[in-house]
Structure 1
């Protein structure tokens, strides 16, 4: 099937790319594989110089890339520029720290000497989503390349222009040809790429359903995978919290990128004494967002990336309302040719409703009262997901202690869950396994090799 670049704000097709054949795909995979020995044998210093150049290219073209994201998946310009800056930061971070993370580690043994070395695996397939079309790729590529691996990117089919632009970043930065390439293929060809003997590992960011498919295909070939999947993050507000600040940050955490984020706050669990006041403040913050054209600098919430995403989200909201929940803000599709959905607040959501059990991938928040801390933790963990969580309290020590009881890959106390090159990122349960970023991320796609000398 062709890969279509469609403007979600207008519904107009901007460009169509023919999907590569299996023969073309295999040829490019072979070319990238053939580039690996020279890249593997390059020094970390040489790789760091190129990665810093990539950061320069990103900053130089930040406006252009932000506009491309706005046109292709609906991200407001300011958020797009911030995403590009984060990519540049990630490149610089690994250029600065990779040598330390990959340094040999001495080990005690019965030999005269022993140490652990970190060797690259080879060719890594990165299967990446559309919601953060630059950052998702760079947070995988920067550490993998610094470790001495080479990459092929299978990007989401609705952002082919972003995918090609990312390939061009590495070309402009002076990376050797074929160290990083984009594959213009749809999802149906991914399994064939995984089965290619030249591919040694797979990184996927996507839905839990996609994660199961990739894990199954890679498992048959005994290939390493790192899976960062969906989330239904709880945002717990205790009665002693700063309610105004929690409401302000909570609204941002729900509606950033039009709510299309695996680590967005989705389930707001508020202790009963604070529930009414928090709800009032939160609805006010949600209602204040400017929804509009992502190319307009005043826009804070753009369209969803595709029409089917609007349909799915509204189906979840409608199910909740039909089952007794209330949409006290939003909840109705906007009359527009674009893929817009308004900031929405649902109350009265109960177990059995889709909005209680499923991830809401859009600007829709569920706000639920909880009796006390124990009830909050029970509801927070009552989900198949475990990516991130946010907990708000005036007592930071209490927050840190409670964090240990939340089943998620990250807990942010009095702050919005976000990815940061300095911190490991990933989930548990149906949110996946493995870690990206920090030292843990760069060591995912290496051979941890023991060297023993008699």
Structure 2
């Protein structure tokens, strides 16, 4: 049984029966059968379906957003924004995707040439997390459908209502049966799915542990895998930065989705010359953050996704304090119902302690003071992760150094990092490998077949 529990109240709002072995087999068989037909569907027909799915998401956005707020606690206004972004993602691949699949020509010399044809691989299994229950799925689903592949979704157990709605929207848009199917199963069933020869490739967004398990199973089966794992993104502020804008953005970047985003700014790395001035602004902003009812217009953030997730963050803070770090304020469980906690700031984290490498998946920022640009880069890179980063400087030479030397898949210059359908998304080091979104995300699960002419 898979339970949906409202983290704002602690109440169980729905239960979902886990699929039986026979039901899983039926869905796999249907996926394989549908792929045989869908792979030969003209690209224009696939793109037209994506356009209709975008329209379905727009028409159902209030219903979709309400489900996300109730199942994982994000504010209703941010859930609406997420659904609108999903519609934009489907529409991006509908409009721009066909050109990404154009035949490539290669001059071989001597009057000879070759062509590169983009062809689908087969059913793609996606293992997805709860924090962006729609957008994370659309990042795989939109390019999968356009590519001529079919999708099987193993979503987080806690957001099965969202998972079912995604399938409902795609089916309502006129997708053939079996093009996109939700698998209501626990993680224990994933390995057997990867072992199944009908699954052509796997994509996962989640924790390091989950990524290692999926990568091991995919490697054993010699199947392509894309991994988007954790992040402990640096937010670096240098003396030439606009401190007011940097501080406001730092608050937004830390508390987005109640701090439960892989690309949240988690470590504020601030030059000593402007540390005090930045901290005055940043602390004031963090203290003003209001945690409250996800459906209240004045709530800046809702509860954490579950009581277990809140307990994890509180335990991390206890560990940090035991190592000598200081919690300036906040980072406390709020009284009453729900997995609420206050936004907080943690300082004096020992750089030589393993805790400085941890990802806090909640609304608490770690702040580090550094002496110069080299120290900022060293601090930014001194973690096992390399997903995103944000740098704040108007000095072009400093910008060039950061872009070149920060070990991350993405760098935002004087702005908050965010994903966007036209731009590649992904990381390095223990943040995973492969890319989502853009043409790169579309091509990840395709065969570039060379044709000698």
TM-score, normalised on structure 2? 0.98
Partner of 2:198: 198
Kindly report which structure 2 residues correspond to 1:1-400, keeping only aligned pairs within 5 A, or say none.
Answer: 2-109=1-108, 112-353=112-353, 355-396=355-396, 398-400=398-400
SS in 2 for 1:124: strand
Distance 2:427 2:356 in 1: 20
Q: Distance in 2 between matches of 1:438 and 1:397?
A: 29
Aligned partners of 1:356 and 1:36: how far apart in 2? 46
1:354 deviation in Å? 5.2
Q: Once superposed, what is the RMSD of the aligned Cα atoms?
A: 1.1
Equivalent-residue separation in structure 1 for 2:426 and 2:37 (angstroms): 31
Using the alignment, how far apart are the partners of 2:202 and 2:279 within structure 1?
A: 42
Offset at 1:95? 0.5
Deviations 1:2-45 (CA, angstroms, capped at 9, x unpaired): 11000000110111112112221121111111101211111111
- 1:394-438 deviations in whole A, cap 9, x for unaligned? 224531332110000000010111111010000000000000011
Please list the CA deviations of residues 283-315 of structure 1 after superposition, one character each: whole Å capped at 9, or x if unmatched: 111111221011222211111111111111111
Distance 2:4 2:39 in 1: 35
1:157-210 Cα offsets, whole Å, 9 max, x none, are 100000000001101111111100000000000001111110000010001111
Q: Does the CA contact (< 8 Å) of 1:152 and 1:180 recur in 2?
A: yes
Name the SS of the counterpart of 1:163 in structure 2: helix
- Matched residues in 2 for 1:65 and 1:301: separation? 18
Q: Secondary structure at the match of 2:268?
A: strand
SS across alignment from 2:46: helix
Are the equivalent residues in 1 in contact too, given 2:373–2:398 (CA < 8 A)? no
Q: Deviations over 1:222-250 (max 9, x none)?
A: 00000000000000000111111001001
1:426 aligns with 2:415: no
Of 102-111 and 417-426, the range deviating more from structure 2:
102-111
> How many Å separate the matches in 2 of 1:10 and 1:224?
41
Residue range with higher mean Cα deviation, 394-403 or 113-122 = 394-403
Cα deviation, 1:326-360, whole Å, max 9, x if unaligned, reads 11120222123211121010011113545411111
Whole-Å separation in 2 of the counterparts to 1:96 and 1:396: 35
SS at match of 2:222: coil
Query: How many residue pairs get matched?
Result: 452
Deviates more, 1:394-403 or 1:289-298: 394-403
For residues 145 and 354 of structure 1, do their structure 2 counterparts lie closer, same or farther at Cα, with a shift above 3 Å needed? same
The 8 Å contact of residues 384 and 429 in structure 2, kept in 1 or not, is answered as yes
Confirm or deny: 8 A CA contact 2:331 2:363 kept in the other structure: no
CA contact (8 A) 1:292 1:300 kept: yes
CA contact (8 A) 1:26 1:193 kept: no
* Secondary structure, counterpart of 2:411 in structure 1: strand
Distance 2:239 2:320 in 1: 27
Kindly indicate whether the alpha-carbon contact (under 8 Å) linking 2:346 and 2:364 is maintained by their aligned counterparts in 1.
yes
Q: Which runs of 5+ in 1 are unaligned?
A: none
Deviates most, 321-330 or 238-247: 321-330
Deviations 1:356-387 (A, max 9, x none): 11111010100110000000000100000000
| Rounded Cα–Cα distance in structure 2 between residues aligned with 1:336 and 1:274 | 39
Partner secondary structure for residue 107 of structure 1: strand
In structure 2, C-alpha distance between the alignment counterparts of 1:129 and 1:419, rounded to whole Å:
16
Query: What is the TM-score normalised by the length of structure 1?
Result: 0.98
- 1:116 and 1:351 mapped to 2: Cα distance? 49
Give the conservation status (yes or no) of the 8 Å contact 2:46–2:146. yes
Mapped to 1, the partners of 2:18 and 2:344 lie a distance apart of 37
Asked if the contact 2:387/2:427 (under 8 Å) is kept, the reply is yes
- Contact kept, 8 Å, 2:324 with 2:348, in 1: the verdict is yes
Deviation (angstroms), 1:61: 1.1
Deviation per residue, 1:125-174 (Å, 9 max, x gap): 01100000000000111011101100000000100000000001101111
Q: Secondary structure at the match of 1:404?
A: helix
